[in-house]
Amino acid sequence: DGSKLWLRYQPLSAKQVKSLSMVISSVLIEEPGDCTAITELQYAWKQLTGKELPVAASLKDYSLVIGTEKSKLIQSLGLQKELQTLGSDGFIIRTMKSKGNRITVIASKGENGLLYAVFNLLRNIQLYVPSSNILRTIQLGSSPFTFDIKEVPSYKIRILNHWDNLDGTIERGYAGHSLWKWDELPGKLSPRYKEYARANASIGINGTVLNNVNASPEILSNAYLQKVKALAEVFRPYGIHVYLSVNFSSPAALGGLSTSDPLNEGVQQWWKDKAKEIYGLIPDFGGFLVKANSEGLPGPQDFGRTHADGANMLADALKPYNGIVMWRAFVYKSSMEDRAGQAYNEFTPLDGKFRSNVILQVKNGPIDFQPREPFSPLFGAMTRTALMPEFQITQEYLGASNHLVYLAPLYKECLESDTYCSGEGSTVAWVTDGKLFPHPLTAIAGVANIGEDANWCGHQFAQANWYAFGRLAWNNELTPEVIADEWIKQTFNQQKEFVEPVKEMMLASREAAVNYMMPLGLHHLFAWGHHYGPEPWCTVPGARADWLPSYYHKADTLGIGFDRTLDTGSKAVGQYFVPLRNDYNKLKTCPEQYLLWFHHVPWKYKMKSGQTLWNELCYTYDKGVQQVRGFQKTWDKMESFVDAQRFHEVQSRLKIQSKDAVWWKDACLLYFQTFSRQPIPYDIERPV
């Protein structure tokens, strides 16, 4: 089953165990003595080798030496200075010689770094020992399995956002109810809380926001804070800090005050008292996440104040305890003003006005977690404000837990987008990870896809998206290929005949989803409400203005696409730096993957392929369908490599995905055909 995630530690063969013992045969523990890193190491070692790793009293050949900077041995190895450069979470794993002994050293400043190092070592052992012949290389006299790893995470805060409600439901959650059993807490602790913390620590995640951004004021009541404290205590040994989403009108709604105006002294005091209460219970509490004046939620603008006034008031309350405020930039009014440009217009004038413990949390794209969006133009535009990317791990707009869509390529596409804000090479990754602008605060968030399903994420392959988010948060230079490879090998098996085709399928899956849902820059063709299937014709009474037919696609008899150009359109393209602004602004130079995002294009426009736009649209939708058929074929061949349960679960979901892909293609093409008035080319699959 999928409950063990990627932490399976499948037993090594006797030969492999022997090989491993020629690299590590005992462990020498110095400061900090007993800690989670050691417990995890011993647990995994037992799973892998069938035996405990002997604890040695002194250094000998093949010792694994573990210690923080306080350890005498680490100091005697001359590593102290280097450790100072690694921050609190960084670490070294290094093969060294000491007094004639060949040893492996794991060192970090503090205990969290040791934990990340142990998980890194275990990953390396699992990925490389089975496929290498250490014994033979030793016999041949060459140097086997030499470690020289030094890692510092890309972001200081690597955090999951749970959109979990206090009644146990999850907004946009597709893996069952919430993991948090609020009704049982704090008295009863589900064993899954610890499993959750382990899984996160194993990929470097060090923070979690427990509740929905559409926050209930109730979460700040003492009764709930006691529950939060209980969770924080389970997570603490795994280096996970707890954060909460707060409702901006809590002082009035929960505290009974007559206002929640951030400039009101009583309100400020209420937040200060609340912070004191929280930190009294949870000394390492991380801080607040705030969705304010967005989608009907209260915020500082209700009192004529700015986002900065609101964020700073909370920041001041948290400051004495080193707490932070993650203030979301996901704002737009339900008006006919181009939604894509609104967050930029609202936030850029506030650049430089936020406290140093405030970070703006910006969704990867300017609209809302669509299958493909250009990066948000806020990245690079606010150089005096710390900015953190927010990705969605849960598949709100990507087939929920029915579609196999590996999201690392989507995350990576955003992170490596060049904003050009400080010339070429100013990628979103560099704008946010402190390389370009040295903000003391760096962070990255992912909206979790975790629920109480036995396999945690609904779809077996959705686990890969949790894994990929964590790995990229730790190291934003990793490639989707490497991450998929690691995940498959740890989650399933290492057989090449399995790993290669499955990896290929995963790597193609995001583009396939774009193809069968909304290719060529189309966006938000989703059904009102559930966001699962297509509804580009939306006529739901009560739907927001921006959902009315054709708000996003603008199809008419002349063409299709949202004109965001400078001369004839909404001018949102002007929010990007040169040369992007110019490239996107011109039809000829706009990348075709964003064509209909920025342009209203005639149906007969000639695409790079030589096809008309209409035909290209037809062929691309069809290609998406064929790609999913291909995934089915690939997976069917994998039956002998996977346990029956996981095989059948994935197989049946691929059938759903295949049907859905046809549904998307038919719905969109038949609807758009009423405008294009062109035939669907005969060589693609007929509508069903």
Q: Are the beta carbons of 482 and 335 closer than 8 angstroms?
A: no
Least spacing, CB of residue 531 vs ligand GCU, in Å: 6
User: What are the angstrom distances between the C-alpha of 193 and each of 311, 473, 600?
Assistant: 31, 21, 49
**Would you call 186 exposed, middle or buried from its count of C-beta atoms within 10 A (0-12, 13-18, 19+)?**
middle
Residue 28, SS3 per DSSP: strand
Binding map of ligand GCU across residues 388-407, x = CB under 6 A, - = no contact: --------x-----------
- Find the catalytic residue in 277, 295, 639, 643: 295
The site that binds ligand GCU (CB under 6 A) totals a number of residues, namely 9
Least spacing, CB of residue 402 vs ligand GCU, in Å: 17
Nearest in space to 71 (alpha carbons), one of 35, 110, 24, 112? 110
Q: Record the tokens describing residue 196, joined without a space.
A: 């959750």
> What's the first-to-final CA gap in the chain, in angstroms?
35
| CB nearer ligand GCU, residue 183 or residue 295 | 295
- Find the catalytic residue in 396, 433, 535, 660: 396
Binds ligand GCU by CB under 6 A, chosen from 192, 227, 274, 291: 291
| CB nearer ligand GCU, residue 213 or residue 275 | 213
Separation CA 245–CA 237 (nearest Å):
23
Angle between helical axes of 496-517 and 408-415 (0-180°, round to 10): 70
Binding map of ligand GCU across residues 205-224, x = CB under 6 A, - = no contact: --------xx----------
Least spacing, CB of residue 576 vs ligand GCU, in Å: 23
Least spacing, CB of residue 524 vs ligand GCU, in Å: 10
Residue 615, SS3 per DSSP: helix
> How many CB atoms are closer than 10 A to CB 126?
21
295 carries an active-site annotation? yes
Q: Is 354 in the site for ligand GCU (CB under 6 A)?
A: no
> How many CB atoms are closer than 10 A to CB 75?
17
Binds ligand GCU by CB under 6 A, chosen from 171, 316, 337, 452: 171
Q: Are the beta carbons of 664 and 624 closer than 8 angstroms?
A: yes
Q: Are the beta carbons of 279 and 272 closer than 8 angstroms?
A: no
Residues between 364 and 383 with contacts to ligand GCU, criterion CB under 6 A: 368
Q: Is 330 in the site for ligand GCU (CB under 6 A)?
A: yes
453 carries an active-site annotation? no
Q: Is 307 in the site for ligand GCU (CB under 6 A)?
A: no
- DSSP states of 60-99: -TTEEEEEETT-HHHHHTT-HHHHHTTTTT-EEEEEEEET
195 carries an active-site annotation? no
| CB nearer ligand GCU, residue 390 or residue 433 | 390
Separation CA 437–CA 433 (nearest Å):
8
| CB nearer ligand GCU, residue 177 or residue 272 | 177
- Find the catalytic residue in 69, 151, 368, 485: 368
Least spacing, CB of residue 295 vs ligand GCU, in Å: 6
| CB nearer ligand GCU, residue 338 or residue 511 | 338
| CB nearer ligand GCU, residue 130 or residue 173 | 173
Q: Is 172 in the site for ligand GCU (CB under 6 A)?
A: yes
Nearest in space to 104 (alpha carbons), one of 149, 56, 64? 64
Least spacing, CB of residue 174 vs ligand GCU, in Å: 13
Q: Is 302 in the site for ligand GCU (CB under 6 A)?
A: no
| CB nearer ligand GCU, residue 246 or residue 650 | 246
Q: Are the beta carbons of 209 and 243 closer than 8 angstroms?
A: yes
User: Which residues carry out catalysis?
Assistant: 295, 368, 396
* Site residues for ligand GCU per CB under 6 A: 171-172, 213-214, 291, 295, 330, 368, 396
